[in-house]
């Protein structure tokens, strides 16, 4: 152990040291199993106690407040409300463009604590920080054509939620999604593009050719996969520390409409 400030044999859930590898200060009240998961994560990622301190990846207590007065949501409900407010500003043309200056850049350079994690489509018209009116360090974003939860995406989102402490995991589909449309058509495509089909076929099949319905179904299906296929995420959900939800972004209006799960 790199930091003697913490002795996990005494109490594995009380540690406020930012240089300790135990991460217990971030997950007070969580099970030992999850704490172990986090340690394993860091070890796997090559950012154990010393490495993480150097890399600045996980030694930050998400409940802390940034020096600049960051109002980070402390619950999934607050996080969701902050996203909804940001999208409302965006579609009203009244964006605040928060946390986008050089001061914020420097503030989050050594540490990050995004309040929400995203699975979105790679489509160039769906830039997630912009449509939710957020800035540096606010959102942990994964994007892949068709917003599908493949193993690498699930692993990335586990990192964003378990290690970095995101309160909401949001699956964001969008209107006129080419990946979903291509899956419905089922045409032959070059290279490895067709590897996406396997993830999108359940939604395409259920919607019976209706693109908008398939896009909504796909959000539900991917959110379900994230909620149920990952024990790491399932434990956070069970503990009330994470909410998985989703919506569809309208390319023409900018509005995000929640999809009933
Ligand atoms: Zn798309």
Ligand 1 centroid to Cα of residue 175, in Å, is 8
The Cα 170–Cα 181 span in angstroms is 22
The Cα 74–Cα 122 span in angstroms is 29
Model pLDDT, residue 213 = 98
Residue 17 contacts residue 25 (beta carbons within 8 Å): yes
Range of 125's domain?
Answer: 69-258
Ligand 1 centroid to Cα of residue 208, in Å, is 18
Same domain, 44 and 145: no
Same domain, 128 and 210: yes
The Cα 26–Cα 5 span in angstroms is 15
Ligand 1 centroid to Cα of residue 125, in Å, is 9
Please count the structural domains in the chain. Answer: 2
Same domain, 15 and 103: no
Same domain, 115 and 183: yes
Same domain, 54 and 173: no
Ligand 1 centroid to Cα of residue 32, in Å, is 39
The Cα 123–Cα 165 span in angstroms is 26
The Cα 78–Cα 35 span in angstroms is 24
Which residue in the block uniquely carries the two structure tokens 């089909």? 197
Of 61, 77, 110, the residue that ends a domain is 61
Model pLDDT, residue 32 = 44
pTM of the model: 0.78
Single out the residue of 61, 23, 28 nearest to residue 43, CA to CA: 23
For residue 168, give the 3-state DSSP assignment. Answer: strand
Single out the residue of 38, 76, 74 nearest to residue 59, CA to CA: 38
Going 19 to 142 to 72 to 39, the CA torsion angle's sign is: negative
Same domain, 56 and 177: no
Model pLDDT, residue 187 = 86
Same domain, 148 and 248: yes
For residue 32, the tally of other CB atoms under 10 A from its CB is 11
Of 44, 61, 78, the residue that ends a domain is 61
Model pLDDT, residue 82 = 97
Ligand 1 centroid to Cα of residue 133, in Å, is 20
Ligand 1 centroid to Cα of residue 179, in Å, is 5
Same domain, 57 and 78: no
Of 61, 88, 105, the residue that ends a domain is 61
Ligand 1 centroid to Cα of residue 141, in Å, is 15
Same domain, 221 and 137: yes
Ligand 1 centroid to Cα of residue 249, in Å, is 10
Model pLDDT, residue 56 = 39
Largest CA distance in the chain: 61
**CATH number for the domain that contains residue 177:** 3.40.1050.10
Ligand 1 centroid to Cα of residue 191, in Å, is 18
Same domain, 53 and 123: no
Same domain, 25 and 139: no
Same domain, 136 and 26: no
Please identify every stretch of the chain with a pLDDT value under 70, giving residue numbers as ranges: 1-70
């Amino acid at each position: 152990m790199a930091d003697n400030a913490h002795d996990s044999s005494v109490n594995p859930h009380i540690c406020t040291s930012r240089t300790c590898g135990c991460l217990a200060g971030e997950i007070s009240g969580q099970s030992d199993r999850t704490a172990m998961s986090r340690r394993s994560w860091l070890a796997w990622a090559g950012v154990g106690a010393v490495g993480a301190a150097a890399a600045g990846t996980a030694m930050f207590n998400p409940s802390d407040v940034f020096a600049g007065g960051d109002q980070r949501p402390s619950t999934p409900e607050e996080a969701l409300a902050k996203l909804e407010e940001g999208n409302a500003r965006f579609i009203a043309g009244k964006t605040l463009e928060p946390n986008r200056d050089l001061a914020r850049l420097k503030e989050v350079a050594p540490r990050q604590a995004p309040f929400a994690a995203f699975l979105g489509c790679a489509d160039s018209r769906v830039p997630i920080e912009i449509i939710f009116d957020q800035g540096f360090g606010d959102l942990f974003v994964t994007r892949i054509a068709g917003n599908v939860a493949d193993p690498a995406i699930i692993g990335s989102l586990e990192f964003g939620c378990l290690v970095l402490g995101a309160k909401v995991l949001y699956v964001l589909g969008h209107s006129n999604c080419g990946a979903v449309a291509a899956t419905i058509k089922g045409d032959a495509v070059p290279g490895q593009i067709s590897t996406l089909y396997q993830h999108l076929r359940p939604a395409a099949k259920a919607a019976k050719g209706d693109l908008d319905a398939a896009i909504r179904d796909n959000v539900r299906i991917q959110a379900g996969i994230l909620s149920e296929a990952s024990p790491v995420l399932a434990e956070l959900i069970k503990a009330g520390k994470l909410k998985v939800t989703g919506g569809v972004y309208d390319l023409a209006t900018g509005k995000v409409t929640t999809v009933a799960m």
